[in-house]
């Protein structure tokens, strides 16, 4: 799940300065779960923008704002409203904002800051455990990612700062390398812990990422 937080309202007003008619777009998936761009948040921002003198020409909470074809379909269905808008305010992750960008030539303003890909621990409690590095090394580390979960991203650890199983960067955070050691020990695979790993290949994924899964499947 993509974790985001809503931008301060004053920043939204600054982004929309000079834009009278605003179309607000939310997201029914990640931004709804993080309570940054679901039905309630869209309604709240609509009311606050209207109080600030903006005219809200339409609102939508798309099923997945990052789905570009779906966004184009929605704007075709609301063609009059989309054409009357001076700007689109998008309450979703950056991918959703850029999906709206592909659907209109008008001003598109992000309503949130995109933070990380997060695991859901419990309601409104998220933790980053994967950095989308493009070359998964989890099998070498007991399926605990040192690239993400070690504050220093060490592939050969622990560092000298670990203290009673905790990280020196955050004393309330478990040292990833202690977790890795304990997991490998429980699997009777401590030999993996003793291996020396070369530098992380950060070029495993070219940016921006692109994948045509149908084409790759056909070539297989």
- Asked if 93 and 126 touch (Cβ cutoff 8 Å), the reply is no
Tens-level pLDDT at each residue, the chain (220 residues)? 999 999 999 999 999 999 999 999 999 999 999 999 999 999 999 999 999 999 999 999 999 999 999 999 999 999 999 999 999 999 999 999 999 999 999 999 999 999 999 999 999 999 999 999 999 999 999 999 999 999 999 999 999 999 999 999 999 999 999 999 999 999 999 999 999 999 988 888 888 888 888 777 776 5
User: Nearest-5° angle of CA 147, CA 126, CA 144?
Assistant: 30
* pLDDT tens digits, one per residue of 108-146: 999 999 999 999 999 999 999 999 999 999 999 999 999
- Cβ–Cβ < 8 Å for 155, 124: no
| CATH class entry, domain 2-116 | alpha beta
Polymer length of the chain = 220
Model confidence over 170-193: pLDDT tens digits? 999 999 999 999 999 999 999 999
Q: Where are the domains of the chain?
A: 2-116, 135-198
Do residues 184 and 142 make contact, with C-beta atoms less than 8 angstroms apart? yes
212's CB contacts (< 8 A; 6+ apart) are none
Record the tokens describing residue 162, joined without a space. 């670990």
Strands laid side by side in the 125-128 sheet = 2-6, 112-122, 125-128
16 three-state secondary structure:
coil
Terminal CA-CA length for the chain:
29
State the alpha helices, DSSP H only, in the chain.
9-15, 30-33, 39-51, 68-77, 79-84, 94-101, 146-149, 176-186, 190-193, 213-219
């Amino acid at each position: 799940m993509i974790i985001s937080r809503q931008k301060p309202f004053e920043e939204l007003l600054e982004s929309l300065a000079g834009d009278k008619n605003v179309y607000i777009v939310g997201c029914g998936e990640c931004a709804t779960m993080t309570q940054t761009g679901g039905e309630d948040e869209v309604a709240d921002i609509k009311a606050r923008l209207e109080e600030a003198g903006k005219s809200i020409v339409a609102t939508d909470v798309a099923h997945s704002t990052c789905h570009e074809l779906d966004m184009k379909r929605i704007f075709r269905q609301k063609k009059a409203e989309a054409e009357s808008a001076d700007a689109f305010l998008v309450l979703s992750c950056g991918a959703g904002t850029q999906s709206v960008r592909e659907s209109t030539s008008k001003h598109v303003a992000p309503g949130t800051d995109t933070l990380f890909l997060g695991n859901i621990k419990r309601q409104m409690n998220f933790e980053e455990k994967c950095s989308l590095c493009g070359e998964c090394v989890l099998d070498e580390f007991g399926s605990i990612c040192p690239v993400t979960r070690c504050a220093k991203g060490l592939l050969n650890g622990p560092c000298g700062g670990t203290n009673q199983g905790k990280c020196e960067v955050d004393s309330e955070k478990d040292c990833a390398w202690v977790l890795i050691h304990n997991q490998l020990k429980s699997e009777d695979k401590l030999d993996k812990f003793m291996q020396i790993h070369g530098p992380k290949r950060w070029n495993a994924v070219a940016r921006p990422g692109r994948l045509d899964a149908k084409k790759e499947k056909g070539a297989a």
